[in-house]
């Protein structure tokens, strides 16, 4: 599979839309774009590249399945949305696209709250 080409198509689309970043949160789409077969992880496209946000259970697996993608491994007990908010701040992303079918309204509200706290 040519995961890099798939990610390039997404990158071009989010840049054409004028976004600073685009979040892929549906596990099936994270797998389609990266080859990563684990769960509880997000793929974030930002102006400088891509990063998978995950937890320590998948560190080795991520290194084996998608070594070309940067990783942000959250500490145990840190909610995924809080880790995402931290990465968004690091990437200086103000306008972020999301998969409307991949994130619940509750998840979006938690992300907004976490972003306001960071």
Domain layout of the chain by residue ranges: 3-117
For the segment 14-66, what is each residue's pLDDT rounded down to a tens digit? 999 999 999 999 999 999 999 999 999 999 999 999 999 999 999 999 999 99
State if pTM tops 0.75. Answer: yes
Q: Looking at the structure, give the CATH architecture of the domain made up of residues 3-117.
A: 3-Layer(aba) Sandwich (3.40)
Angle between helices 27-34 and 3-16 (to 10 degrees): 120
Q: Which pairing describes strands 21-24 and 42-46: parallel, antiparallel, or unpaired?
A: antiparallel
């Amino acid at each position: 599979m040519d995961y890099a080409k798939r990610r390039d198509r997404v990158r071009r689309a989010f840049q054409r839309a004028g976004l600073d970043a685009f979040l892929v949160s549906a596990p099936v789409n994270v797998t389609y774009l990266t080859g990563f077969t684990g769960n509880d992880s997000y793929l974030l496209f930002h102006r400088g590249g891509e990063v998978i946000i995950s937890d320590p259970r998948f560190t080795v697996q991520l290194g084996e399945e998608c070594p070309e993608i940067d990783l942000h491994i959250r500490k145990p007990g840190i909610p995924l949305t809080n880790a995402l908010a931290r990465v968004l701040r690091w990437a200086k992303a103000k306008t972020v696209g999301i998969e409307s079918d991949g994130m619940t309204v509750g998840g979006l509200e938690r992300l907004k709250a976490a972003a306001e706290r960071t």
